[in-house]
Every structure is written in C-alpha cells, then in structure tokens.
Chain A
Amino acid sequence: MSLSEIEAATESEQVEQAAGNLRREAWRRLRRDPVAIVGFCLIAFFVLVALLAPLLAPYAPDAQPGRGMITPTNIPGPSAQHWFGLDASGRDELSRVIHGARQSLLVGVVSMLLGMIGGLTLGVLAGAFGGTVDSVVMRIVDVMLSIPGLLMAIAIAALLGASLTSVMIAIAIVNVPVFARLLRGQMLAQRGSDYVLAARSLGVRRRSIVFGHILPNSISPVIVQATLTLATAIIEAAALSFLGLGSADPRVPEWGRMLADTQRYLASAPHLALFPGLAIVVAALGFTMLGERLREAIDPKYRR
C-alpha cells in the first residue's frame, strides 16, 4: 500500500468515527455512567417481567392455589411453594406482582405518550407563533400547573369513573402542561439563535424553520422529561388505584390496589405490603436514574 493510500484510508476512518452526531456522543457518555446502567438494567428487568409475565408467573393472577390455607388469623408468608407468600384470598403474591408490572408499564407508557403528544402540540403552537397564541396557551398551562398534579388526576379520574382508561387519561392530562411549558421554553430560546436568523435570511419558510430547525434543537430535554414522566406516571397510577380509582375488577392485579387491599392485614401479613411497594419503587427508580443521567448526558449545562 502506498503512503497516500494509507493516508486516505486513515482519513476516511477518522471521518467515519467523527460522523457520529451529538446524540451518539450523548449515548457514548451514557454507556460509561454506572448510575445510568443500573437504571437501564432496572428498566429492562421491569419491561421483561411485564412482557413475559404469563411465562414467568407460576400461577395465573386470579388463581387461588392457597385457598384452603387462609384463615382470618393466618395468611402464610413467603415459602418455597409461594415465594412472596399468599394474599388474603389465597392467591399467589409473586404471580400478582409479576402481572402487576404489565398494568404499570401499560399505564405508564400510554399516559406518558398521550401527555407528551398533547403537551408538544400546545408547546409547538406557543413556541412557533408566539404573541397572542403563546399568551393564551401559556395561561391555560399556568392554570393547569397551579393545581397539584395528583389532586387534578384524582379529580379527573373520579369524574371519568373508576377504570384503567380514566387513570391513563387523568395522568396524561396532568403531564400535558409540563411538556407544553418545557418545549415552548426550548423553542423560544432557539428562535433567537443565529442559525434561525441565517435560515430566515435565505428565505426559508416558517414551517420549515419550526419543524426542520427549531424543533430538532429543542427535543432533547423532552426525551429526558419523557423518561422521568414514566417514573411519576407509574407512581401516580399506583396512587390512583390505591385510592380505588383504578380498574373496578378485583381480579386485575394492580400494585396500588394490592397495597390498598393489604391495609387490614398489615400487622399479620406485612409481606403483602412489602412486595408491591418494592415493585413500585424499583420501576420508578429505574426510570428516574436513567432520566437524570440522560439529562446530564444530553444537556451541556450539566456536563462535568
């Protein structure tokens, strides 16, 4: 190989390596971050359990294999047969916690997506048009934000009637103003930037400037917020079903309702509170850990 060929080869290699964009750079930082990795593992564990629930759970969530073993004074705790013990109806607690992951993941993802779509729509409207549109949208957002999130979710869920769907809608609505305000602020900051001025100086249309230039530069914090929202959505879903606003069907395993059902037996069967509680913590913790580190990896302000 001649010298120039070698040079050309190494040069193209460098370019190949450099071709990664900003997001790939963030990804690289994230992969070296132990907290992010732990968070990612927790999420992966949670998602896998949810997806494979029927395979992993030793019993169906509504089966009552321990029916005969339950007496008002004796709810058996963890054993070799039932790792997480039995609940007050003689159902296998492990199977219910595993199946509960499905509910949590479903509510978390759907309500986060709905909330994000609603919030981004409002945010783009406000950020792109500014002026009166911005004022009107942001006042609505301010009003929504002035009501404590959980309180509003309870009110909405109560209004819609106890069901899984109303829990998802309630949590989605609570998250709309959060996304709207975040995106609007990001877009406003980008609107005055030099590259937007340069694009305008070339006659680029407003739609292209908003969707082709401003939005791609504003979206990173939204991804972070989405991850963090999954954590709060899971907790809020548990809270709503704890309060009896979740699915009306007692056979559906929901972590929040499992906690509520166990209140009476707290002294005699503490394991019934421990395992669903732990499950909520682990799932929420995973998304929080990853979300926080994602923020640090993406946002140059947090870069150490």
Chain B
Amino acid sequence: MTHFDRRSVLAATLALAMGCAGLAASDALAEADYPTRPITMLVGYGAGGQTDLVARATAHVMSDKLGQPVNVVNKPGVGGAVAARELKRAAPDGYTVLFNSNAMINLAPFLMKNAYFAPDEFDYAGMITAFQLAIAAPKDAPFDDIAGYVAWAEKNPGSSAAALAPEARLYINEIVKKTGIKVNIVPVQSGSEMINALLGGQVMVAYSGGIHYRYPDQLKTIAATTTFRHPSAPDVPTIEEQGYPLGMDTRTTLMLPKGTPQAVIDKLTAALKACAGDPNFKKVTDAADIPIQYLDAAAATKEMIDSTAKNKAIVEAAGVVAK
C-alpha cells in the first residue's frame, strides 16, 4: 500500500519539477497555495508501534484540515535517526515532514554515539502528545515511592530492576549512587517484555514509557520521571519532587527540514492543532494512555532547546559517556 503512495508522491514531484522548469513559478505563490499535492509524513518507527498509531491518527486529522492526503511512510531505525537523516535531505517545502519523539534530539545524542542531531538542525511545526515516562512497580509491592523502594531494597539486596533504554540505567544508577542500595539491572528490549518482567515478579521496579498505565489493577507508578505529574496518575509525585532533579520530558514532535517558509509552518501548525480537539484522535490516544499536550511552533522550538540543554546537563552530571 505504502509503495503506491510513494510512487504517486514521486510522480507528483516529477510533474512539479517539470512544471517549475517551464514556468518558474514564484515561491510566494507556492506558499500561499500550500499544500497543492500530497504530503509525506515520515515516521521513525515500524508500523504498529504506539508512536506509529498516533502518527497515523495525526495524519488522518491533518489531511482533513489541509485538503491533501498526508501519507505515512515508516522509516524505522535508531529511534528515528534514520528518518531524521532522510528529512534533512528533503526540500524545505513542507511536503516532507517527520513525526517522531523528540528524544532523538533532546536525549539520545548524550546517551548513544551514533545519533547526532542538534535542535537547530530542524524547524518545528509543533508538539502534540507527551510520553508518561515513569518508574513502575507491581501493585502489591510494599512501597509507593522512591524512598520506600530504597528502604525495601536495603533490606533485600540483590533484587532486580528492568531497564529498557540507556536513560533507564541512568535513573537506577543515580538512585544507587545516592543511597548505596544493591540492585541488578536486567536489560529488556521492548515494552511488553518490561511488562512481563513486572507482572511475572522477576523485577521489582522498571522504567516504563507509559504503557504500564494499561494495567491499573496489576501495576502502579512509583515516580513520574518527567517534569510534570502524569494525567494518568495525578497523585504520584515526579522524581524531582522526590528529591532527584532528573526529570526529562519527551514529546511527539512534527519536525520539518531547516528553512521551511513561515507560511507553510503556520499551516502545518494549524492542522496539528486540529488534532488536539478531534474526538477520533482523542479516542486513539486515550486507548494508549497518551496525554495530548499541544504546543505551537514557537513553544515547541523553545521546548526543544530548553529540554535539550536540561537533559544534557543531567546526563553529564551523572557521568554517562555516550558510547
């Protein structure tokens, strides 16, 4: 299905290129008419993942609003870095956009060597959802916060914690550094593996990207590792409130090649904003416990720069060296 989409996009590109050669159409006119042909929305993950589902719902609303199809093209690899590289090569005309978690820019570069994008390498049309990153534990665990966990772990040395990503190791290591508890870090490779490890009682705590909120009867949240409290668990304090200044936010972001005309960005921002009020979009995000936190282009750019600086400082203070 997708390759037909791509082919029609290619055909359209070709037709436009030939048209331009003949007519030398003015840029300003093209911006005012935007969009006149289908838009390609790159997604940096495989089909079927959580962010892919949100991206498809976003594309649906945006194409209604813009009056042109928004075609989702999955370009999985390295948390979106492969797709981002493709976006950098695309023309800054608003016909190629990337829907991705901004962790690729504001967090991954400090933890892993191969991902290397800086905030000023792209333009941003806005942000639409936030990830409810958290430390989760089984519902029947004899503690409800980090202090309680530390007290329990002191009495039970050699227990295990599941780590899905490098930042998960950072959180556990920082707690270990501060308190001296003895805990083994078990690597897991997917969200469902992490849930299995928690439900199966193999680990006592785990770092979650938010999917543990789907198991309200079996799992609970110990700390939100974001700078805000989670809509799904408003009573649970953030990790910063609990005395560890380690809150790091990531959000789904609509990214554009650097140098996209302001008129085009404005139209994309307006279309993204329509998602925030769309009932079908809300249905998709509610089903996955993903809170909608819309930010417009200016706010998204500021959030990108600020969060990148903050996260960089946290990772460097923790002494993590990107490998």
State whether these chains interact: no
